[in-house]
Chain A
Amino acid sequence: MIARTNRIALLAVPGLAFLAVIYALPLLLLLIKSLRGVEGMTIVTYVEFFADSYNMTVLWRTLRIATLTTLLALIIAYPTAFAMARAKGIWLTMFLVALVLPMSLGVIVKAFAWSILFRSNGFLNTTLQTLGITEEPVRMLFTETALIIGAANVFLPFMVLPIYSVVRQLNASLPEAASSLGASPWFRFTRVTLPLSLPGVVAGSAFTFSLAISMYVIPSLIVGERQQTLSMLIARSFLYLRNEPLGSTISAILLAIAIFVVLFSSWLVGRLGARR
């Protein structure tokens, strides 16, 4: 007779089967394709990819954009999550609606909205000139800065919600205890609050980084073809160069980076949990 816990575990079988067929199998096929040459298994496409300076530029740019997007999202999300954790009633509802509602808006609509904002005669440039900060319009459209701001905007909920879920469960008496023992606000934050909230920060950062490193539509619309990312290289390889081995290789590299980030963050969360 199957133990009750094992029977409950069987409930996960449909989900695992779905993931295996829809997710794992195509990825495995992609990996095999990246390693298949004319005369059998080979790593030549990987060697060619890393030997091409253009590809390395794109790889570096992708990592840089994903990292900066994650950092910007974290800077905005961290205090927001604390405000939400302390909010009650209508305020909490408003915070959640403000956070979740923009997710229902398509990225294309947002991209066009950003293009209005970032134009030479757009709101930001007009404001800068009105305030006398700049005399001439500043080039914002099709810049990496615009891309990072846009991406952080899209991925912000994925950073806020994990931090919020951790911060909400923090024991408020711990900082108070530190305070009663004479700890300064800075000491309380760095030695009590921040360490306790780190699992949420790591989880949110892993989510955001994984999404940012593989984004396609946002860079396509905001910075265009002159500043390609790994995802754009993949699309270009499959659709326009019709080079499936190259596209599969770049996909495998992108997947490896994402897997490393998820595994590393899981390990880090485990370590931080153990310390607590």
Chain B
Amino acid sequence: MTHRTLAGLTRRRLLKTSTLAAIGTLAAPALLRAQSSELVIGCAGSHTAWMESIVIPHMKEAIGADILFEGTKSSVNLEKMSSNKDAPYLSVVQMDDPVMIQAVEADLLSPITPDAVPNMTDLRADATHMEGMWCNYVQPWAGIAYNTDKAEGVPSWTALWDPANSGQVIIPSLQNTEGMWTLMSAAMLSSGKPFSEAQYETDAAFAKLEELKPNLLTVYTTMSQAFNLLEQGEISMLSGNFSSYTLPRKAEGVPVDLAAPAEGIFAMPSGICLVKGGPNPELAQAYVNEMLGPVMQAAIADFASSVPANTTVTAGAVVPEGVPIYAPDWSFVAANRAAWIDRFDKLMAL
């Protein structure tokens, strides 16, 4: 028996129409997205300020891209890329060099070429890695952030271990790339060797780190939370922080500063890469090209007090004079990081 509605439609037709409408409604966002100018970018959570204020408006104007960015840790970005390898939703990822190495090993990246990204030809020679698998687009330097109400400066990495700073220090977890700076400083102090050699002295590093425990308030994985405690004077020192984070806050009048200890500071290059098989590949290449171009390079370097990678740009960070800058052996870090994280967590556990 065929039931008819008041409008004269059969029940079967009504059901059919409703089902198609429902499917259409559910599928619409995906269909629209596939043809849109939307780019999903993975980046560091600490980059939120300049991504929102500089990059997103510029990209809309310059290449017509609507940027959705997911700010998190590099390791989390790597996991997202790995989990979605068969159907990537990220087009571009900005993350730290050791994690880039892991991404290359997992075959998650497409190489960046000068044909598609002309601005990469203006980069410093050391800013392009593994035959273009990723490029460094900005490079802050890392030292020890301190509260200026509590200290007048931090002349040496040994200050972290000073008994006068009991309970007044926070260090990054090795889950965060910046955690490596405290590990390497511990290796340098324990072994007596320069950073370039000490970075391989793992046992010495962990032995020295254990001595730091009485001075630790906590170990952080969320930098903004730890930095907040520094700003409020709950702690006096935050190890391994970046010029791109501390110096803008100092400029805003917050009582913090970044010390460059005499033994040396660290180069903290941030990389940009194309996700293999990611959506909107041509728009993604245009985004990378803009990030490496003079306008974005100058704006980011100026905002984040960091060293630009583009040689045509002169703006950016003031790097402390007379203090050596070290770049670690990232391949050594990448190969050992998981084991170090496990050892570090167990060593620091309460």
Contact = CB atoms under 8 A, between A and B. Distances in A.
Given A228-B349, A236-B175, A240-B175, A221 B222 contact: yes
Interface in B72-95: 73, 75-76, 79
Interface stretch (A95-103, A115-123, A176-184, A265-273): A115-123
Contacts of B175: 225, 236, 239-240
Given A121-B234, A225-B221, A239-B175, 8 more contacts: A54-B346, A115-B228, A141-B234, A224-B220, A225-B345, A239-B79, A240-B338, A241-B338
Contact of B349 (A115, A142, A227): A227
A220 interface: yes
B225 A225 contact: no
Contacts of B73: 239
B233 interface: yes
Contact of A238 (B79, B219, B221, B350): B79
What interface size band does chain A fall in? Answer: 20 to 34
A220 B220 CA distance: 9
Contact of A226 (B75, B218, B342): B218
Interface of A: 54, 57, 111-112, 115, 119-121, 139, 141-142, 220-221, 223-228, 236, 238-243
B341 interface: yes
- Chain B at the A interface: SS class: mixed
Nearest to A223: B218
Nearest to B220: A224
B75 A115 contact: no
A110 to B, nearest CB: 13
Interface in B298-350: 337-338, 341-342, 345-346, 348-350
A225 B75 contact: no
B104 interface: no
Contacts of A120: 234
Contacts of A57: 349
Given A119-B234, A139-B167, A225 B76 contact: no
B349 A226 contact: yes
Interface in B186-229: 216-222, 225, 228-229
A239 B218 contact: no
Given A141-B217, A221-B222, A236 B345 contact: yes
A49 B20 CA distance: 50
A112 B338 contact: no
Nearest to A116: B232
A136 B134 CA distance: 52
B173 interface: yes
Nearest to B337: A240
A243 B338 contact: yes
Given A141-B234, A225-B345, A226-B348, A220 B221 contact: yes
Nearest to B83: A238
B350 A227 contact: yes
Contacts of A121: 232-234
A166 to B, nearest CB: 39
B173 A242 contact: no
Contact of B219 (A141, A224, A240): A224
Contacts of A226: 216, 218-219, 348-350
A239 B350 CA distance: 22
Contacts of B345: 54, 225, 228, 236
Contact of B228 (A112, A142, A220, A228): A112
Contacts of A220: 221-222
A239 to B, nearest CB: 5
Contacts of A243: 338
Contacts of A225: 173, 175, 218-221, 345, 348
A177 B346 CA distance: 59
B220 A119 contact: no
Contacts of B222: 220-221
A224 B79 contact: no
Contacts of B79: 238-239, 242
Contacts of B216: 226
Contact of B225 (A54, A112, A227, A241): A112
Q: Which of A115, A225, A227 has the most CB of B within 10 A?
A: A225
Contacts of B229: 115, 141
B104 to A, nearest CB: 15
B73 to A, nearest CB: 8
Nearest to B77: A239
Contacts of A119: 232, 234
Contacts of B75: 239-240
Given A112-B225, A227-B350, A240 B341 contact: yes
A21 to B, nearest CB: 15
B269 to A, nearest CB: 21
B324 to A, nearest CB: 30
Interface in B56-76: 73, 75-76
A243 B75 CA distance: 13
